[in-house]
Amino acid sequence: MLLENKIALVSGGSRGLGRAMCEVFAREGADVAFNYQSNDKLAAEVVSAIESHGRRALAYRVSVTDRPACNKMVREILEKFERIDILVNNAAINRADSFATMTERAWTEVMDVNVNGLFNVTKPVYKQMLRRRGGKILNITSIGAVRALPTSVHYATSKAAVLGFTKCLSREASQFGISVNAIAAGIFDTDLGNTLPEKFLEIYTAWSSSGRLGRAEELAEFAAFMCSARNSYMHGEIITIDGGSVT
User: Does the annotation mark 204 as catalytic?
Assistant: no
SS3 string of 84-104?
Answer: CCEEEECCCCCCCCCCCCCCH
Residues 36, 60, 126, 155: which is the catalytic one?
155
- Outline where the chain has alpha helix (H): 16-27, 40-51, 67-81, 104-111, 117-132, 153-174, 198-207, 216-226
- Outline where 152-247 has alpha helix (H): 153-174, 198-207, 216-226
Our CA angle for 179, 61, 145, nearest 5°, is: 45
C-alpha pair distances (Å), 160 with each of 7, 95, 190, 232, 245: 28, 16, 21, 25, 18
Residues identified as active-site:
155
